[in-house]
Chain A
Amino acid sequence: MSVATMSQNAGVCFNLSDDHKMVRDMVRKLATDEIAPRAAEYDRTREFPWDNIKKMAELGLMGVMVPEQFGGAAMDTLAYVLIIEEISKACASTGVITAVQNSLGSYPILAFGSDEQKKKWLPLLASGQKIAAYALTEPGSGSDAAGMKTTCVLDGDHWVINGQKNWITNSTAAELFVVYALKDPATKHKSTSCFLIEKGTPGFTIGKHEETMGVRASGTCPLTFDNVRIPKENLLGEENKGFNIAMATLDCGRIGIAAQAVGIAQAALENAIKYSKERAQFGKAISEFQLVQEMLVSMATQIEAARLLVWQAACKRDAGEKFGKEASMAKWFASEVAVKAALDSIQVHGGYGYSKEYPVERLLRDAKITQIYEGTSEVQKLVIARHLLSEG
């Protein structure tokens, strides 16, 4: 796919290629017609949105960047962020499920997996036949990911895993878990390895479905590993190099979450515009009041800026350039924009926005998580600072 790249010397191009437009238009129609109408219901019931996932899988949306030989669509990161934005605009839960499947599930296998692992798992994930989850966070380690306590011990031909993971998206549906563990908590990231663990492996328990504030249909659960024995060949990548895999995976994943945040923010803006034109006060539509316009203008401009940061990070990745700093910038900025846009959209809606009668209260609950998962806003700033200071 040709990329409307922003990194070529020819200059900066803000136009999407025809192919990218076709992808965005297709996903927008799917999201508007089939995903958005049920988003409130999934938010309420917390059921895993299988109907959405099955439809999306048929259209290739579960393996966007997976090469054709492994059953994927072989598209680029720019196509991926367009997809995540449109899906998240309709339903943030479906958005994060898709993002986890594509970036946190498939990417580490594609980038670090053995030929056998790729052949076995990528077609199953790209076709949506199996859902993947990504287990790094623990009850006692979030931002300090290397402070994990889950251990791995090699015992003959098996690794034995013990420990707990927390807040693992997709857990109610996933059959493959990308799990990090270390040999010795004292050596932290130096002894961390990455493993592929299948649902149903003895000793592996998926805990209670968490009652979260937002992305409530994302199947988020804690995981427990009690002497879980997995074959040696389930090690992903090199032994003791798991932390590198985690960080590389999150760099890519952050672009997806940034795109999700842009989608939520865009939904907040569109709802605010629509409502402000319908709602009359003092004898005219509230959209005619400048203080209301100020909120709409601020939302729209911030969203454009956030979207361009997301596209920049995606295009850098597609051009084979370093994109870690740009991904963190996009993720931090877009998630802040999403929360602010959702708050302002509620403000435009007044009392109605505070009720479940309108979708904007859900947007706020969904927006908030984008400042937290796949690296908090604070962690993004640390990453950006590290890049700035080492580049200087």
Chain B
Amino acid sequence: MNIIACVRQTPDTETVIKINGAANGIELDGVKLVLGPYDEYAMEAAAQIKEKNGGEVTAITVGGEKAAETLRHCLAVGADKAVHVQDTGADDALAIATALANQIKKLPHDLIFVSNKGTDSDRGAVGPMLGELLGLPYVGLVTEIEIDGGAVTVSRDVEGGSKEKFKVTLPAVICAQKGVRGEPRYASLPAIMKAKKKPIETVAAEGDLASLRKVELEKLEYPPARPPGRMVPGESAADKAKELVRLLRSEAKVI
């Protein structure tokens, strides 16, 4: 089985985010970039399915030079090879999906994993677009997946604790939700050493990705500062409780 894991490099979630001078992005200087937490789930699902069913995992990313580090990480957590579509201007869902589709068409592919969303952009748009561009079925937010001959059976959570179950013919694009195959593995030392010998193919994006942009980011703003906590006055615990109930009812209007 040929499995593709589409991944993205994002700022470490512990980064203190600073908006850049033009207010159209964040300061990336000194920011630690990692394999996105949601992408880790996609990568883990790809690795486990390969380990169970055989085949090969190709990790693919669209991004600048630094994105190669993320592919190196993927090679240490289960990918066999990697494709780096080098492009710095394409921070746009359609541009990224187009670049991925152009490369994936050239690769043998049965199962294509995408993540729920980038932790930075929070768009969640690349997966469905990729399905459309490749003319393949797409299922979002999958929490369970089983290979079933030339098809996969996938489940996703729907409201009220119910599940939807789909049988999807391959090839297909599957969006891995958190925990689809448990927690992502750590890169073991032997795996890090072996990753050095695995190939990363670097290719240029085809065409002008920036021209595909349909969405312009106008402005980034910080959320309003959180107001300080308020101490409820009162002589005794009973007084304080009474005052708290009054405040919740008349000021906060939550009860």
In the bound assembly, the distance between CA atoms of A6 and B162 in angstroms comes to: 59
CB atoms of B193 and A22 under 8 A apart: no
B222 in the interface (beta carbon within 8 A) = no
Check A74/B193 contact, CB under 8 A, given A18-B69, A22-B73, A22-B76: yes
Does B196 touch A at the CB level, under 8 Å? Answer: yes
In the complex, the answer to whether B72 meets A60 with C-beta atoms within 8 Å is: no
Residue B190, interface by CB 8 Å:
yes
- CA of A160 to CA of B210 in the docked complex: distance in angstroms? 78
- What is the chain A residue whose CB lies nearest that of B32? A25
Q: Mark B187-201, 1 if CB is under 8 A from A, else 0.
A: 111101100100000
Q: How far is the CA of A75 from the CA of B187 in the complex (A)?
A: 14
Q: Give every chain A residue within 8 A of B186 (Cβ-Cβ).
A: 26, 29-30, 59
Q: Is A64 an interface residue (CB 8 A)?
A: yes
Scan B158-190; emit 1 where CB is below 8 A from any A CB, else 0: 000000000000000000000000000011111
Query: Main SS of the interface on chain A?
Result: helix
Residue of chain B at shortest CB distance from A73: B189
Chain B, Cβ-Cβ closest to A60: B189
Interfacial residues, chain B to chain A (CB-CB below 8 A): 34, 69, 72-73, 76, 186-190, 192-193, 196
6 A-B pairs closest in CB distance? A60-B189, A73-B189, A59-B188, A60-B188, A26-B187, A60-B190
Closest residue of chain B to A71 (Cβ to Cβ) is B190
A154 within 8 A of B: no
Instruction: Find B189's partner among A18, A25, A29, A61 (CB 8 Å cutoff).
Output: A61
Closest residue of chain B to A29 (Cβ to Cβ) is: B186
A57 to B, closest residue via Cβ? B188
Contact between chains at B188 and A22 (CB < 8 Å): no
A92, chain B: closest CB distance, angstroms: 21
Cross-chain pairs A/B with CB under 8 angstroms, 8 sampled? A1-B193, A19-B196, A22-B73, A29-B186, A59-B189, A60-B188, A73-B189, A75-B193
| A23 in contact (CB, < 8 A) | yes
Give the residues in chain A near B76, CB-CB below 8 Å: 22
Knowing A19-B196, A22-B76, the reply to whether A64 touches B189 (Cβ < 8 A) is yes
Give the Cβ gap from A248 to chain B, nearest Cβ, in Å: 24
Question: Which B residues lie within 8 Å of A79 (CB)?
Answer: 189
A74 and B69 CA atoms in complex are apart in Å by 21
Interface string of A1-45 (1 = CB under 8 A from B): 100000000000000001100110110011000000000000000
| A68 / chain B contacts, CB cutoff of 8 Å | 190, 193
Interface residues of A (CB under 8 A from B): 1, 18-19, 22-23, 25-26, 29-30, 58-61, 64, 68, 73-75, 79
Task: List 12 additional contacts besides A1-B193, A58-B188, A73-B192; criterion CB under 8 Å.
Answer: A22-B73, A22-B76, A22-B192, A26-B192, A30-B186, A59-B189, A60-B188, A60-B189, A60-B190, A73-B189, A73-B190, A74-B193
**A99 smallest CB distance to B (angstroms):** 16
Interfacial chain B residues near A64, Cβ < 8 Å: 189
| B75 to A: closest C-beta gap in Å | 10
A44 vs chain B, min Cβ distance (A): 27
Please give me the residue from chain B that is nearest to A34 by CB atom.
B186
Query: Which residues of A lie under 8 Å from residue B190 when comparing CB positions?
Result: 60, 68, 73
Q: How many A-B residue pairs have CB under 8 A?
A: 40
- When distances are taken between beta carbons in the complex, the residues of chain A under 8 Å from B189 are 23, 59-61, 64, 73, 75, 79
By beta carbon, the residue of chain A nearest B73 is A22
- Most chain A C-beta atoms within 10 Å of own C-beta, residue among B69, B72, B187: B187
Contacts known (A18-B69, A18-B72); A23 close to B188, Cβ less than 8 A:
no
Per the bound structure, the CA–CA distance linking A23 and B73 in Å amounts to 10
Query: Which one of A26, A29, A68 has the highest number of Cβ atoms from chain B below 10 Å of its Cβ?
Result: A26
Note all chain B residues with C-beta closer than 8 A to A19: 192, 196
Compute how far the CA of A59 lies from the CA of B192 in the bound complex, rounded to whole angstroms.
Answer: 10
Shortest distance in angstroms between B198's beta carbon and chain A's nearest beta carbon? 13
Q: How far is the CA of A339 from the CA of B202 in the complex (A)?
A: 49
Q: In the complex, A348 Cα to B190 Cα: how many Å?
A: 41
Q: How far is the CA of A74 from the CA of B193 in the complex (A)?
A: 8
Rounded to whole Å, the gap between the CB of B186 and the closest CB of chain A is: 5
Residues of chain A within 8 A (CB-CB) of B187 are 22, 26, 59
Residues of B within 8 A of A18 (CB): 69, 72
Q: How far is the CA of A359 from the CA of B76 in the complex (A)?
A: 34
Q: How far is the CB of A170 from chain B (nearest CB, A)?
A: 21
CA distance A19 to B194 in the complex (A): 11
CA distance A73 to B190 in the complex (A): 5
Q: Determine the residue in chain A with the shortest Cβ distance to B191.
A: A60
C-alpha spacing A29/B193, complex, angstroms: 19
For B34, B72, B192, B196, which residue has the most chain A Cβ atoms within 10 angstroms?
Answer: B192
What is the distance, in angstroms, from B63's C-beta to the closest C-beta of chain A?
A: 15
Cα A1 to Cα B34 in complex, Å, equals: 21
Which residues of B have CB within 8 Å of A25? 34
Please give the distance in Å from A332's CB to the nearest CB on chain B: 29
CB distance from B200 to the nearest CB of A (A): 12
Enumerate chain B residues within 8 angstroms of A22, measured Cβ to Cβ. 72-73, 76, 187, 192
Q: How far is the CA of A382 from the CA of B192 in the complex (A)?
A: 39
Least Cβ distance of B9 to chain A in Å?
13
Closest chain-A Cβ to B25's Cβ sits at a distance in Å of 24
Most chain A beta carbons < 10 A, residue from B34, B186, B187, B193: B186
Q: Choose from B73, B193, B196 the contact partner of A73 (Cβ within 8 Å).
A: B193
Residue of chain B at shortest CB distance from A61: B189
Per the bound structure, the CA–CA distance linking A116 and B146 in Å amounts to 46
Q: How far is the CA of A338 from the CA of B236 in the complex (A)?
A: 47
Residues of B contacting A61 with CB < 8 Å?
189
CA gap between A59 and B189 in the complex, in Å: 6
Bound-complex Cα distance A156 to B34 (A): 61
Chain A residues contacting B196 (CB-CB under 8 Å) are: 1, 19
